[in-house]
Chain A
């Protein structure tokens, strides 16, 4: 997904939706599968669409590998629909200035799936196996 196909940066993504209990669902959107992220994080526009009061959530700060940039993040409980096949209740962070629609991180995603990347394919392939365990 970059400017020139020959230099394209292939990013593993899945199509997901978000929802709130007994309420609205978002449209499908691509979310980056990112084991480097401790949480699932979404652009706050999606919270607005679902009618979530962003700043009523638990506040945290998020930053990247480069020092200096930090943004407020607010956690809310949402329902995550993965590829319209799996439904998970998760706690996710919402950030106003996220430059992508969403990130599927360790807490909320990787704790539910065994994930295999095949970066030799272009675009990259992601394979999932749901971890079944008693609650």
Chain B
């Protein structure tokens, strides 16, 4: 079996902008951009000189999801 390398994002996301896409540095240690769309956040990453960022949606609030189908109102 091969495993992933788990990364603790809790500190990074605690004060991150909400309700938008975020771009993280390749090692996921820094937030390097935000945007309303994936294209926009990729543009921000490119401006920051990061070619292969990790992107993620930052919801209005972090809530536990059950059965993975939590949706935003």
Contacts and interface: CB of A to CB of B under 8 A. Distances in A.
A34 to B, nearest CB: 4
Given A1-B13, A9-B64, A128 B1 contact: yes
Contact of B10 (A2, A27, A43, A114): A2
A89 interface: no
Interface residues of B, number: 39
Contacts of B63: 99
Interface residues of A, number: 53
B62 A2 contact: yes
B56 A30 contact: yes
Contacts of B54: 15, 27-30
Contacts of B65: 11, 32, 34, 64, 99-100
A29 B8 contact: no
Contacts of B55: 26-29, 101
Interface in A1-58: 1-3, 5, 8-9, 11, 13-15, 26-30, 32, 34, 36-37, 41, 43, 45-46, 48-49
A57 to B, nearest CB: 17
Interface of B: 1-4, 6-11, 13-14, 21, 23, 37-39, 42, 45, 52-57, 59-60, 62-73
